[in-house]
Every structure is written in C-alpha cells, then in structure tokens.
Amino acid sequence: MTTYRDSAKRLLTDYPRPSVAVDTAVLTVKDGALCVALVRNDTGWRLPGTFVHEREALAEAVLRSLRDKARIEGLRPRQLHVFDDPDRDNRGWVMSVAHLVVVPEASVAQVDLTPVTEVHGTVYDHKKIIEMAVDTLRASYRAFADPERLLGPEFTLLELLRLHSAIAGEPLGKDTFRRHMLGQLVETDAYQQGVVGKPAKLFRHAAG
C-alpha cells in the first residue's frame, strides 16, 4: 500500500494535530428548573467527557464517558458544536466536540444536577458549552410543544406550560402559550387522574 503524501511531499503525521475530546451537556428539568449534569474530578466541576481513543468513533467516546464518568447509560446524545479555540484548555491543544442530550429527571437521578443559572467555576470552556446547549434547547421549545418528549405521551396544558416555563427560565403567559401550542396537540377523551378538584383534560402530540 502506497503511503500518502500531499503536494509538499509531507506525510499526515508531519503536521501538528490537536487532541480530540468529547464533552456532553446532559440537560433535564428538576423542581421547576432547567438543570445540567456535572461531575467532579481533580480539576474541578465539569461536563462528563473524555479524550477520544485511537480508532474510536465520537459517538462511542461519548457513551463511554457518560458510562464511566457519570454512570449514565442508554442515552443518544447528538453533536452540538466543535469548540476549537487553541487556548481553550490549559493542558494543551485540545479540540472538544460537544454533544447535547435532554432527558427526564428519572434518567439521571444518580448524577449531581445543577440549575443552569447557578453554574459557576466549571473547567476550561464548559460554561460556554452549557450556554450553547441551553440556547439550543430553548430555541426548540419556543417553536415546538415539548420536542424532547419529557412529559410522556399524555399531559395537561398546565403541565406543558410549567415545563416550557422551566426551560425558558421565566414564566410564560398562559393565553399566548395556549394559542401557540394548541395547533400541535390533539385533545384526548381522557382526564387527569388523582387530583383534588376538577380534573384537567389530557392532550397528546399531533402526528407528524
């Protein structure tokens, strides 16, 4: 097999290369607040992450880091952004391929969860990663009714409003929210169970 050389007759190994890491923002809603999962090591509080091993796919590295660093399994994170500032990591030239996953609180009950408004002192540029993850999530929730399906198949309009308000980080107007979301929902024949007073109607997501 012929060894590849470029037009300058250089091998691929002749060029300096950064180390490649993956870091994952795991977001959820707990006690009415949008939270992020953080882990702690000898460098401080950080997102679950790791360096990519030789011949390892990014997705494999992400799942390995979540399992080994945060005891989280069964998730399907998606790529968020590449953070490639050469000075982002004081250990050296490290490029981070950041990922995002949004899950119900029960899926990450064993992890330290911090409200995104209270994140301070994380290592490297992890606060920037968290901020981008939050902005991305909020944009999707402004446009769609619970696109991450945190509420399950059926829910009340009040439950949906509370979820969207938690993700937005501020109370949302009830009437405006209702008008915006109703076109994406289907009213069922079922009612909320186990409540005091008049039970509320249950809704589900419209198909498609």
**DSSP line for 118-184:** G--S-STTHHHHHHHHHHHHHHHHHHSSSTT--S-S-B-HHHHHHHHHHHHTS---HHHHHHHHHTT
Domains and CATH numbers, the chain: 14-143 (3.90.79.10), 157-205 (no CATH)
**Residue 3, pLDDT above cutoff 90:** no
Asked whether residue 2 carries a pLDDT value surpassing 80, the answer given is: no
Nearest to 163 by CA among 147, 179, 175: 147
E runs forming strands in 11-107 = 19-30, 33-41, 44-46, 49-51, 78-83, 94-102
**pLDDT tens track for 69-122:** 999 988 999 999 999 999 998 899 999 999 999 999 999 988 899 999 999 999
Q: What is the pLDDT of residues 35-82, one digit of tens each?
A: 999 999 888 899 999 999 999 999 999 999 999 999 998 899 999 999
Reported confidence tier of residue 132, pLDDT bands at 50, 70, 90: very high
